[in-house]
Structure 1
Amino acid sequence: MRSLNIVAAALTAAVTVTGFGSAALAQSNDPDRWLTPTMIDARASMFMPSLNYLTFQHMDQMFATRSVAAGDSAWDLPEAPMSLEGDYTILGETTDLEGALERTRTNALVVLKDGAIVYETYRNGSGPDTRFLTFSVAKSYTSTLIGLALNDGLIDSLDDKVTKYLPEMEGTGYDGPTVRDVLRMRSGVAWEERYEFGSETQLTQVHDNSLVAYRYRWCDYAATESEPGPNAPDAVFNYATLDTSVLGCIVERVTGRTGAEYMSEKLWAPMGAEYDAYWIMDGPDDVGREFYGAGLASTARDHARFGQMFLQGGKANGQQVVPEEWVREATVADEGYEPFAPGAPMGYQYQWWTDAGSDVFMALGLHHQFIRVDPTNNIVIVKISYTQEPVGRDEENEELFAQITAKLTQ
């Protein structure tokens, strides 16, 4: 499988909530708003295949959120329309463009070539102002916040231990790995990112308790329940949404601000985002944190701006927003780290996936969300999907991207 960054299993409507009996189980001062049975059931049912095309567009009506404010000056992307019409062959079946978009269950597609929007479409009631939740695409944004905090001198070194910034992690699975280890998903923490519907897997338990029932925060779990796994830090790649949550909490600690506030000031406004984004929370505003591993909702065009900024070495809206050195370090796999496992087609750097056969790098998310950056062809593709399956339909998307690229470069 190519897209391994899946952050939540589809949940049954009946959620079994388990608690840890600690101070971390803070409850909202406004339980009528977020903790009613109806709201808990809605959050538990957000992956329902027949409705996820819609729920993924309206997460702010089910979750507590925190806004990421855009600035006064949007980055005006030029438009240079190019036709993408013609035949597309997806898994051996030939169809037209609309058929390919339906086959791959597409809500939105934005394509940039040479810095201009060459194609843009919205489907299923969405539009340019729709803020889609794109799940683990958020990991690449959280990584960028780490890079900005490093550039601001708030993080001394990526080789510092996590416990230097989060001393409450001492004695847990995060007592040992460095910030760099966590960025690479090589923390060594005992974590199984497994998705089985209605199961009692570790991921499902934390998801149900934090995001669904608002019983505790992801970072509270890391600080009270995480344990070292069988592998030492940096030894083995093990995809863990819990790692990204810890990165986000490092950002909070070193900046003294919420992740949304820091992101607005240092990234979203300077980049020239057109619309406010928002993070869904793992609790009401008085106790919750941004769901750093998979909780950012943004318009497709603003995702495209983010991808184009990385394609341009961190430059956007007339200024250097992200240090060029960080862009390279975050998206180009170091020797020995690609592929992430023997024979795998992909690598993993700092919360970005890399293609072992090219210079393409991607932010990927549950249910097949993509920010695909192709430096060789100067193309950025944002695809927002609503597949029934959370993972496993990567080949058809790769075929679509290859045929779009061919039409733009022939």
Structure 2
Amino acid sequence: MDLFGRCQPAPKPEGYDGPDGYWEYLAQVQPEGSHGEAFHYKTVNSDMLGWIISRVAQKSVADLASERLWQPMGAEQDAYQTVDGKGVPFAGGGLSLGLRDLARLGQLMIDKGAVDGRQIFPASVVEKIAAGGDPAKFGGYPTIPGGSYTSQWWNFNNAHGAYAARGVHGQTIYVDPLAEMVIVRFASFPTAANGAIDPTSLPAYMAVADYLMGRD
């Protein structure tokens, strides 16, 4: 049984004696490898980050996102976050969001964290994400040659300096700073890993950016 099966709010099967909720599950996860040695994407790391943020702020990640980001950036729809049986939000995924609001988030990245003259988060945050991580430690992703990952964002190291927030089955917020373009994609591709659709989707995003830049 995976993280979702152990922590989802639905009743557990008869005889289940595993962890009750996300935090109990996270406390049982053992490390693999050494920190800083190599990049390997694990959703559990995002959930652990959410736990740390929640403990430091003494608020749930859902409440923080609402107060610090969603409301200030002018989202037009409520967002919903999956919770465990104790009501703890799942920071590693399970978000239900509106398409245009995700585009607003992408535009906020283009605008270095500012909206209507108000700085929602520091421009240095965007600059760090745009700079990417260490490509030398980014192995196992042949569809993103020379790419990297940092601060929950994927950097493609292409000619436009594009980066993206990506979910399973093709969900994407693609940010192209050079073209000042944001593409949001809702998808339900049968394969969860984005590597299966990168060979078609990434060139398509670049083609749209090139077209928009050619119109100037």
Decide: shared fold, TM above 0.5: yes
* Separation of aligned partners in 1, 2:11 and 2:52: 21
Say whether 1:349 aligns with 2:147.
Answer: no
1:382-405 per-position Cα deviation (integer Å, ceiling 9, x unaligned)? 111121222212212123213322
Partner of 1:406: 210
Letter in 2 for 1:210: C
* Separation of aligned partners in 1, 2:58 and 2:9: 27
Say whether 1:206 aligns with 2:10.
Answer: no
Contact 2:164–2:175 (CA<8 Å) still a contact in 1?
yes
Shift, 1:364, TM fit: 0.6
* Separation of aligned partners in 2, 1:218 and 1:247: 12
* Separation of aligned partners in 1, 2:208 and 2:93: 27
Partner of 2:127: 328
Contact 2:37–2:137 (CA<8 Å) still a contact in 1?
no
Q: Any idea what SS the aligned residue of 1:271 has?
A: coil
Question: Which of the two has higher C-alpha Rg?
Answer: 1
CA RMSD of superposed structures (Å)? 2.0
* Separation of aligned partners in 2, 1:235 and 1:214: 39
- Structure (1/2) with the larger helix percentage: 2
Partner of 2:56: 254
Q: Any idea what SS the aligned residue of 1:380 has?
A: strand
Q: Any idea what SS the aligned residue of 1:398 has?
A: helix
Identity %: 31
Which residue among 86, 95, 117 is the counterpart of 1:318?
117
Contact 2:47–2:91 (CA<8 Å) still a contact in 1?
yes
How does 1:7-22 map onto structure 2 within 5 Å?
none
Unmatched 5+ stretches in structure 1: 1-203
* Separation of aligned partners in 2, 1:212 and 1:262: 22
* Separation of aligned partners in 1, 2:151 and 2:128: 8
Q: 1:333 to 1:309 in 2, by over 3 A?
A: same
Partner of 1:226: 29
Q: Any idea what SS the aligned residue of 1:270 has?
A: coil
* Separation of aligned partners in 1, 2:116 and 2:42: 33
* Separation of aligned partners in 2, 1:250 and 1:214: 27
* Separation of aligned partners in 2, 1:266 and 1:390: 30
Runs of 4+ aligned structure 1 residues displaced above 3 Å come to 212-215, 336-339
* Separation of aligned partners in 1, 2:94 and 2:130: 21
Shift, 1:331, TM fit: 3.4
Shift, 1:218, TM fit: 2.5
Unmatched 5+ stretches in structure 2: 13-19
Say whether 1:388 aligns with 2:187.
Answer: no
Say whether 1:265 aligns with 2:60.
Answer: no
Say whether 1:238 aligns with 2:40.
Answer: yes
Which residue among 172, 186, 192 is the counterpart of 1:370?
172
Which residue among 79, 95, 111 is the counterpart of 1:296?
95
Give the TM-score of the pair, scaled to structure 1.
Answer: 0.46
Q: Any idea what SS the aligned residue of 2:71 has?
A: helix
Alignment: residue pair count: 201
Shift, 1:406, TM fit: 3.0
Contact 2:179–2:210 (CA<8 Å) still a contact in 1?
no
Which structure carries more relative contact order (alpha carbon 8 Å, separation 6+)?
Answer: 1
Q: 1:376 to 1:301 in 2, by over 3 A?
A: same
Shift, 1:337, TM fit: 4.2
